[in-house]
């Protein structure tokens, strides 16, 4: 059994039609050509070099030279530096000073403090240096890089017209094995919710595939926050202090771009041009956990989901989502109600929705330990 990985990171995932064959002006754009474009991450011209207190090397790159613009559909794209329409009711970061309930949790810090309090210059974005191990050769989902079965413990809203989703996600550091991954995320399905066309954001442990700036097409605009190696610190502990991040994905109705917000601050978007033909809204939303079970040991994976404990353990022991909301056609935030629950293998990982609370809105616990006498 491989040694568990050590860090939790915030990730963006894009598993959309833009990752498959597409047409531009009658020319066929294949996934091979898109793969070649993201390999250019390691050859970007650097304007300034930085280093984080954790020792991660950062290159400040011209904002118009970032990997997004290697995408064939974005050759003439003009960057939007902030949303033109914004859900005013959207949940902002919960500060430590707001902790006044027994079951509150603190906001998780993103480990992105640069030495000497430096930052990238205006007109640039920070890009973490990477190697081939962080940049797989195919631009497909994790199932292609790591053969196996995806298993879920999540809640869903389907058959609607949604302009976004939001939640506060409890951050843990689950054990992962055999190059499998464990993640907690929001997914927004564009087009029909058949599993092939979605964007997502959340935290992740390990895994290989198309994530963050490795996914050609995501436009990063924040000069202070980098993607790809950012470590969420600290993470929650069993029967101890709990930490969370606030994540939102929403559509800018004027530009059509799909924005991502972390801890109350928008920091990038997927341009509407890469979602051509997929409609004006999302057809379905999901919130919850996901793991990859490769069965590498000839049995079910021991990779943990969430905290590694089942939902019935409750607060401080099981992982949770809180203030689960969706955005309607007017970008008004509404509590997610009448949701569907899905647990691929409840003996391995499960999900349990709690009664709606005054302070935490729609909330649920999810996760589990993986392999056991009951989970084979």
Tell me the CA distances in angstroms from 112 to 10, 57, 97, 252, one per residue in order: 12, 11, 22, 27
Tell me what the mean pLDDT of segment 192-212 comes to: 69
Q: Are 309 and 237 in contact (CB under 8 A)?
A: no
Residues 13 and 188: their CA atoms lie apart, in Å, by: 11
What is the rounded average pLDDT of the residues 246-252?
A: 92
CB 273 within 8 A of CB 77: yes
Q: Which range, 130-144, 194-208, 311-325, is most confident?
A: 311-325
pLDDT > 60? residue 206: yes
Give me the mean pLDDT over the 245-273 stretch: 89
Which pLDDT value is given to residue 237?
94
Encode 54-74: b = buried (16+ Cβ within 10 Å), e = exposed.
Answer: eebebbbbebebbbbbbbbbb
Average pLDDT, the chain: 77
Which one has a higher pLDDT value, 95 or 330? 330
Per-residue pLDDT at 41: 44
Question: What order of strands is seen across the sheet that includes strand 182-190?
Answer: 109-111, 231-233, 9-15, 198-205, 182-190, 282-293, 149-157, 340-343
Output the pLDDT for position 263.
Answer: 83
| Cβ atoms 168, 244 nearer than 8 A | yes
What is the per-residue pLDDT for 31?
A: 31
pLDDT at 147: 61
Q: Which pLDDT value is given to residue 355?
A: 85
Checking if the pLDDT of 128 tops 80, the result is no
- Over 60: is that where the pLDDT of 209 sits? no
Q: What is the pLDDT at residue 287?
A: 97
The sign of the CA dihedral 140, 146, 151, 152 is negative
* Number of neighbours of residue 363 by Cβ within 10 angstroms: 22
Decide: pTM greater than 0.85: no
pLDDT greater than 90 at residue 111 = no
- Read off the pLDDT of residues 31-56 as tens digits, 9 standing for 90 and up: 333 333 334 444 567 789 888 777 77
Given a cut of 90, whether residue 350 has pLDDT beyond it is yes
Residue-level pLDDT at 229: 53
pLDDT of residue 230: 55
Map residue 310 onto helix, strand or coil: coil
Q: What percent of the chain has pLDDT over 70?
A: 69
Q: What is the pLDDT of residues 59-74, one digit of tens each?
A: 898 999 887 887 888 8
Task: Report which of 11, 281, 327 is spatially closest to residue 166, judged by C-alpha positions.
Answer: 327
What would the two tokens of residue 252 be? 């800018």
| Mean pLDDT calculated for residue range 199-219 | 71
Which of 150-164, 182-196, 319-333 is predicted with the least confidence, judged by mean pLDDT?
Answer: 182-196
280-333 pLDDT per residue, tens? 899 999 999 999 999 988 999 999 999 999 999 999 999 999 999 999 988 899
pLDDT mean over 91-120: 57
pLDDT of residue 374: 96
| Residues 155 and 288: beta-carbon distance below 8 Å | yes
Mean pLDDT of 361-369: 97
Q: Which residues contact 88 (CB under 8 A, 6 or more apart)?
A: none
Strand intervals (E) in 124-218: 124-128, 149-157, 164-170, 182-190, 198-205
**Per-residue confidence (pLDDT) for residue 80, from 0 to 100:** 94
| pLDDT on residue 46 | 79
Q: Model confidence at 222, in pLDDT bands (50, 70, 90)?
A: confident
Stronger pLDDT, 204 or 348, i.e. the higher one: 348
Angle 366-354-249 from CA coordinates, rounded to 5° = 65
Residue 21 has pLDDT above 60, yes or no: no
List helix spans (H) across 15-133: 31-38
């Amino acid at each position: 059994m491989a040694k568990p990985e050590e860090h939790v990171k915030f990730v963006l995932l894009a598993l959309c039609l833009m990752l498959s064959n597409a047409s531009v002006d009658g020319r066929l754009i294949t996934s091979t050509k898109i793969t070649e474009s993201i390999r250019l991450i390691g050859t970007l011209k650097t304007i300034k070099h930085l280093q984080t207190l954790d020792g991660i090397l950062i290159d400040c790159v011209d904002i118009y030279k970032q990997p997004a613009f290697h995408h064939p559909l974005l050759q003439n794209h003009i960057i939007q530096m902030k949303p033109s329409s914004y859900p005013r009711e959207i949940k902002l970061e919960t500060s430590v000073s707001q902790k006044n309930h027994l079951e509150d949790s603190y906001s998780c810090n993103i480990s992105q403090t640069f030495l000497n309090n430096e930052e990238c210059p205006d007109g640039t974005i920070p890009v973490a240096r990477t190697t081939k191990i962080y940049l797989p050769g195919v631009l497909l989902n994790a199932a292609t890089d790591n053969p196996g079965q995806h298993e879920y413990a999540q809640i869903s809203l389907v058959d609607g017209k949604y302009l976004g989703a939001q939640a506060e996600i409890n951050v843990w550091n689950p054990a992962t094995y055999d190059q499998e991954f464990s993640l907690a995320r929001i997914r927004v399905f564009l087009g029909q919710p058949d599993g092939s066309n979605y964007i997502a954001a959340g935290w992740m442990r390990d895994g290989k595939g198309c994530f963050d700036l490795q996914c050609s097409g995501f436009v990063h605009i924040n000069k202070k926050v980098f993607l790809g190696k950012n470590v969420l610190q600290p993470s929650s502990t069993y029967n101890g202090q709990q930490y969370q991040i606030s994540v939102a994905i929403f559509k800018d109705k004027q530009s059509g771009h799909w924005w991502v917000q972390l801890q109350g601050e928008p920091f990038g978007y997927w341009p509407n041009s890469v979602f051509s033909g997929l409609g004006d809204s999302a057809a379905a939303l999901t919130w919850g956990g996901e793991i990859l079970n490769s069965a590498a040991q000839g049995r079910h994976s021991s990779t943990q989901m969430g905290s590694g404990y089942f939902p019935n353990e409750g607060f401080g022991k099981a992982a949770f989502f809180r203030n689960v909301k969706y955005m309607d056609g007017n970008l008004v935030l509404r509590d997610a109600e009448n949701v569907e629950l899905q647990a691929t293998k409840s003996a391995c990982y499960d999900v349990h929705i709690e009664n709606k609370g005054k302070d935490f809105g729609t909330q649920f616990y999810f996760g589990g330990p993986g392999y056991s006498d009951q989970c084979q």
